[in-house]
Amino acid sequence: MNKVYDNKAWWLILPMLVLVAFSAIIPLMTVVNYSVQDVFDANTRFFTGTEWFAQMLNDPTLQAALLRQFAFSMTVLAIEVPLGIGIALIMPKKGWQASVVLILVTLPLLIPWNVVGSIWQIFTRGDIGLMGWGLRELGYGYNITRSTVDAWGTIILMDVWHWTPLIALLCYSGLRSIPEAYYQAARIDRASKWSVFRYIQLPKLTNVLVIGVLLRFMHSFMIYAEPFVLTGGGPGSSTTFLSQSLTTMAIGQQDLGPSAAFSLIYFLIILLVSWVFYTAIMNMQKEKQEEGI
């Protein structure tokens, strides 16, 4: 191919470049700017290099928060994905029942984050909350402000309640797109219910599940408002997740340099894990193809 020198067509990417600059590069670079300096006031600042980064990475509180964050995200993924698929499978396919169930399933998705936190805060109160009161009446000393197990259990339950519908809806639409002939052929081939799921439904759900898993991972890894409203990060710091630690540092303590460094690390972790998820799932498919040939 002939290489064109002085190709003016390059100017055509300028509008896109401007757009990306405003949407991503400029805001992000502000954070980068703070992360490598110690700023005292408008005129006084010192260059610190990687000092903030090293400090953040070695901070035991943040390390603990990071581990908690991973534990939380993996737990909710492990519950919500299978549960969502299961719900999608038993949802009615047509008629008025389908519409009613669809609306009921969608409802939790429409509630704002801190409202969800408030709802569950009231729901789990020992004196007036149905769940808190009920559990105590049944003889279980339920208390999310004292027991780490109770607090964790409640937050996971809340997240499952709030977000499983997303997976269920994605899978429901995926299932609806499978042509009837597949089910008919499976009946003719005398496939069991499990085989139909394993060889027809699950393979056809791969694409929506990639989207579902990525969305749920990113969402849950950034969770803030719900646990903040429900437990305030307690008891102790047992439910303090990454974004809450960050907010405390940036807004509460005004430690702009460390917060900026921390933000960047946070962002890179999400990017990295999402990339790993994505390539892992895509590679799974690719390997299968190569095996075949």
Partner 1 sequence: MAEITLKTLAHSYLKNPTSPEDYAIREMDHVWEQGGAYALLGPSGCGKSTLLNIISGLLQPSSGEVLFDGELVNDLPPEQRNIAQVFQFPVIYDTMTVFDNLAFPLRNVGIDEAKIREKVREVADVLELTPQLKRKAKNLTADEKQKVSMGRGLVREDVSAILFDEPLTVIDPQLKWKLRRKLKEIHRRFNITMVYVTHDQLEASTFADKIAVMYEGQVVQFGTPRQLFEQPAHTFVGYFIGSPGMNFVDVRVRDGKLLSGKHVVPVDQRVCSIIANTHSDNIKLGIRPDFIEVHDTPVDGGMEVDVVGAQDLGTYSVLSLRFGDVLLKARIDEEQSTPKGKAFIRFPQERIGMYVDEYRVEINHE
Query: CA end-to-end span of the chain, whole Å?
Result: 32
- Of 70 and 199, CB closest to partner 1: 199
Helix (H) or strand (E) segment spanning residue 47? strand 45-47
Phi-psi region of 192 (alpha: psi -120 to 50; beta: other; left: phi over 0): beta
Minimum Å gap between C-beta 280 and partner 1 is: 17
Smallest separation (angstroms) from partner 1 to the CB of 290: 9
Q: 24 vs 287, which CB is nearer to partner 1?
A: 287
- Residue number with CB closer to partner 1 (254 or 289): 289
If the CB atoms of residues 18 and 284 are measured against partner 1, the closer one turns out to be 284
Question: Strand, coil or helix: what is 37?
Answer: strand
Q: Quick one: 179 or 236, whose CB is closer to partner 1?
A: 179
* Nearest distance, CB of residue 200 and partner 1, angstroms: 7
CB atoms near residue 124 (< 10 Å):
25
> Would you tell me which residues interact with partner 1 (CB under 8 A)?
179, 181-182, 184-185, 187-192, 195, 199-200, 203-204, 288-289, 291-293
- In single-letter form, the type of residue at position 10 comes to W
Beta carbon of residue 134, minimum distance to partner 1 (angstroms, whole number)? 45
Beta carbons within 8 Å of 158's beta carbon, 6+ residues apart = 116, 117, 120, 226, 230
Distances (CA, A) of 142 to 12, 30, 95, 153, 256: 63, 46, 42, 11, 39
Least distance in angstroms from the C-beta of 88 to partner 1: 19
